[in-house]
Amino acid sequence: MSTPKIIAVAGKGGVGKTSCSAVMVKLLCEAYPDKKILAIDADPAVGLSTALGVEVESTIDDIRREVVSTVENGDTKTAIELLGEAKYRIMDALVEQDGYSFIAVGRPEAAGCYCKINSYLKEVIGLLSSNFDYVVIDGEAGIEQINRRVMEKVTHLLLITDASKKGCQVIQTIKSVSDNLMMCDKVGVIANRLPDEGMADMLDTGDLPLLSAIISDNKLAEYDIKGENVFYLPDDAPIVVGCKKALKAVGVL
Ligand SMILES: Nc1ncnc2c1ncn2[C@@H]1O[C@H](COP(=O)(O)OP(=O)(O)OP(=O)(O)O)[C@@H](O)[C@H]1O
Ligand SMILES: [Mg+2]
């Protein structure tokens, strides 16, 4: 198996990271029916499972807690055995969908700090990606997961912004942090939910290439209202066209 392409989607809150991630999973499944594709919902606030209509039973955080409790119960397993066991449990927790596998990071019960689950998530991405050809990671809003090196193994970083100054600032911050902490092959911007396409030229994305511009998508809005699976959006929906263009621009499609 060649080295996996690990695509992470990041950006400010509410700009369309989850919607774009779901559409990219759809596009990869259609383009590569014989490849192994994994979708990871890396947002503790949960999103991708809902967008893709996946029933999640066991999360990465559930597994982490199980493994931690075996250690606390005085089980004298070595670190290697624990990691081996975790891998087995994680493979077991993958939900098999039509054309791809799915796993969610889950929401840690303890309030406040997500750093434990984030460092665990980083290991899990490393463990799992060797079993897949394509991995799509729907990240948490903001720069925390980039800062904590969760995205270290990512090969393609897709930064989403809406038509706002703040959205553009967040992607540029992510870019400057990622320069030191990641070794991605490709980084680029998707401008999403623009009032009209012409507005793309007004966005200040710094030295980041604009891969595609997506206008406000009524079909997606309709799916959203009805709670329908984004996987089944029609091929001519603006978000599907825009995500396809972006994946082609970074050489994934
Ligand atoms: N191009 C678009 N046209 C219309 N609606 C859109 C578009 N992109 C996203 N939306 C809608 O905007 C809302 C937020 O999108 P989404 O959940 O994908 O963003 P997010 O970046 O994942 O948010 P969060 O930071 O909360 O995880 C959703 O209701 C989604 O359907
Ligand atoms: Mg989201």
80 pLDDT exceeds 70? no
Protein residue closest via CA to atom 8 of ligand 1: 16
CB atoms within 10 A of CB 106: 21
For residue 41, give the ligand nearest its CA: 2
Q: What crossing angle do the helices spanning 60-72 and 115-129 adopt, rounded to 10°? A: 110
Which of 3, 22, 6, 49 is CA-nearest to residue 239?
22
- Per the prediction, the chain carries an average pLDDT of 92
CATH 3.40.50.300 fits 5-249, yes or no: yes
Pocket test for ligand 1, best of 19, 166, 226 (most atoms within 8 A of CB): 19
Q: What crossing angle do the helices spanning 238-249 and 17-31 adopt, rounded to 10°? A: 70
**Measured between alpha carbons, how far is 118 from 173 in angstroms, rounded to an integer?**
19
* DSSP 3-state of 6: strand
Alpha helices in 161-213 (DSSP H): 165-181
Instruction: Summarize pLDDT for 142-172 with one digit per residue, the tens.
Output: 999 998 898 999 999 999 999 999 999 999 9
229 touches 55 (CB < 8 A): no
Distance 73 CA to ligand 1 centre (A): 43
Name residue 29's amino acid. C
Task: Return the structure tokens found at 243.
Answer: 């995500």
Comparison of pLDDT for 76 and 199, the residue scoring more: 199
14 touches 159 (CB < 8 A): no
Which of 210, 184, 191 is CA-nearest to residue 8?
184
* Measured torsion, CA atoms of residues 200, 206, 211, 214, in degrees rounded to the nearest 10: -30
67 pLDDT exceeds 60? yes
Q: Show the ligand 1 pocket: residues with CB < 6 angstroms.
A: 13-19, 43, 47, 141, 192-193, 214, 216-217, 220-221, 224, 239
Q: What is the pLDDT of residue 112?
A: 57
Instruction: Summarize pLDDT for 1-38 with one digit per residue, the tens.
Output: 679 999 999 999 999 999 999 999 999 999 999 999 99
Name residue 242's amino acid. G
**Measured between alpha carbons, how far is 102 from 97 in angstroms, rounded to an integer?**
7
**Measured between alpha carbons, how far is 188 from 171 in angstroms, rounded to an integer?**
9
Which of 46, 53, 47 is CA-nearest to residue 26?
53
Domain residue ranges in the chain: 5-249
- Work out which ligand 1 atom sits closest to the CA atom of 47: 27
Protein residue closest via CA to atom 18 of ligand 1: 16
Distances (CA, A) of 89 to 62, 124, 129, 136, 157: 10, 11, 15, 20, 28
- Work out which ligand 1 atom sits closest to the CA atom of 223: 31
Protein residue closest via CA to atom 7 of ligand 1: 193
Q: For 65-115, give the DSSP string.
A: HHHHHHHHTT----HHHHHHHHHHHHHHHPEE-SS-EEEE----SSSS--H
Instruction: Summarize pLDDT for 173-232 with one digit per residue, the tens.
Output: 999 999 989 889 999 999 999 999 899 999 999 999 999 999 999 999 999 999 999 999
**Measured between alpha carbons, how far is 126 from 5 in angstroms, rounded to an integer?**
12
